[in-house]
Structure 1
């Protein structure tokens, strides 16, 4: 009588260890610093990745863009919505705070007609791990909370990572 119980127990352990549930974070690209031109984050817990260029070919924008203008950095990605952040005076690695758009360092999330912004009550951070204007690479991690002024909706962006080629 003990033998069937032991066999069932062992089979249960084996099947539990063989099933590895993939999470939303697993769908995101790895955090690298090589200019792989990758971007990903979780928007309210759901994976957000840029669409392929063919999927949004009717717009002039590319699915993933990164620019440096003087010492400011702008990174934007289009997928099922639009995630963007800008950093003022981002000329060296470090952690930068995101706040009001008037500060020059801010984050936004847009989906449909809803546009969400960081502000003093809904801040965030970007940690630049590499900014290299010679090799044209900007890499790092980010997270922020954004607020829609019209609807009051709050969107949480977490687990963000980017490894972009600069234009």
Structure 2
């Protein structure tokens, strides 16, 4: 009887330990920073994991997108992420991108300039009304590091870290540990 109790206790402890799930950190909730066009994207918004998600109603379109097109400013790159559950979106704009590298988001963007803007990042919150727009600029800076820019395979991958400031107010947000791996 004594020999029987020890193995049962051991098996019970092993089963109990394997049943406990480790809570994921906010950083572990983000997709890996890959470079194969996987479609992964996400970032920490003020320390909380923010992952794009498409609408389940009405098929409102993709939750992530990347476009590279010819404009008067050269070949511009736009990378965007959206999440319908809380009506937010974020993105980066890089004018005249020609290769992988680090791009500084430290100049003020102006809606009137359109495609002629400097590189910038943004966060848009559409709830509650009215819409709120937060942008990088001279007093809210950041960087985007494009780690893969493949115009043959049409893949853009990279990481970003930025502070964005409300256009008409003092509120700021931090977008850190950002990553994207998209096809354009």
> 1:74 aligns to what?
78
Deviations 1:62-112 (A, max 9, x none): 211100013211000101410111011222111001132244310000112
**Structure-2 separation of matches of 1:45 and 1:90:** 29
Which segment is superposed worse, 47-56 or 147-156? 47-56
Contact 2:141 2:164 in 1 (8 A): yes
SS at match of 1:33: coil
Number of equivalent positions:
150
**What's the offset of the Cα at 1:134?**
1.1
Counterpart CA distance in 2 for 1:56 and 1:31 is 30
How do 1:118-129 residues align onto structure 2 when only pairs under 5 Å count?
Answer: 118-129=136-147
Q: Is the 2:134–2:172 contact (alpha carbons within 8 Å) kept by the matching residues of 1?
A: yes
Q: Is the 8 A contact 1:56 1:63 kept in 2?
A: no
Deviating above 6 A after TM superposition, structure 1's stretches of 4 or more consecutive aligned residues are: none
User: What is residue 64 of structure 1 aligned with on the other side?
Assistant: 64
Q: Where does structure 2 lack aligned partners over 5 or more consecutive residues?
A: 1-12, 111-116
Q: State the partner residue of 1:111.
A: 125
SS at match of 1:26: helix
1:86 corresponds to: 93
Cα offset, 1:48, TM superposition: 1.0
Give SS of 1:115's match: strand
User: Structure 1 stretches of 5 or more lacking a match?
Assistant: 1-10
Asked if the contact 2:54–2:82 (Cα under 8 Å) also holds between the matched residues in 1, the reply is no
- TM-score, length basis structure 2: 0.75
Classify 1:31/1:149 alpha carbon distance in 2 versus 1 (closer, same or farther; 3 Å). Answer: same
Could you say which structure has the larger radius of gyration? 2
Query: Residues of 2 paired with 1:39 and 1:19: CA distance?
Result: 25
